[in-house]
Amino acid sequence: MKEQNFYKVCRLSDLRDRVGKRFLIPASDKSGDEIEVALFKVDDEVYALSNICPHQHTALIYDGFIEKNCVVCPAHGWMFELKTGKQPTGAKGLDVYPVKIENGDTPAMTLNNELISLLYELKAEIEFDTYVNPYSSEL
């Protein structure tokens, strides 16, 4: 099994419920490229999806609103399931990325040591069955 690299992006307390936050994650191939990621905390779950809407390639998913377990792109209303990134019709939509919550000892994070880490893979298709529930006891 290939070892997965996780990239620390923020504290759990930095996320507001049902409000997205945008992050630029360095690509794992050392090309200098970055991956745009939208992170959402909804009902005690944390989801990471591509921030680029496939409709017109706008980087606005983080600014979308949450409706029926989906994020709605604010540009043209396309919907994507938070867990799978797929459109409600089942059509391909956004890439999803596993997240994990870990307790870390980071000096800059003295009030809350729960960190959110985000897997980054350049141009990788990650299916939902590899998604890690951040609150699972199996981490």
Domain for residue 94, yes or no? yes
Q: What was the pLDDT predicted at 4?
A: 60
Mean pLDDT for back-to-back runs of 10 residues, the chain (139 residues): 66 89 80 86 90 94 96 96 96 90 43 45 35 37
Q: For residue 99, tell me if it sits in a domain.
A: yes
18: in domain? yes
The structure's pTM equals 0.73
Q: Is 130 within a domain?
A: no
Provide the domain limits for residue 98.
Answer: 6-125
Distance (Å, whole) CA 42 – CA 19: 8
Angle formed at CA 118 by CA 38 and CA 84, multiple of 5 degrees: 60
Report the distance separating Cα 96 and Cα 127, nearest Å.
Answer: 7
CATH at residue 13: 2.102.10.10
Domains identified in the chain, total number: 1
pLDDT of residue 117: 56
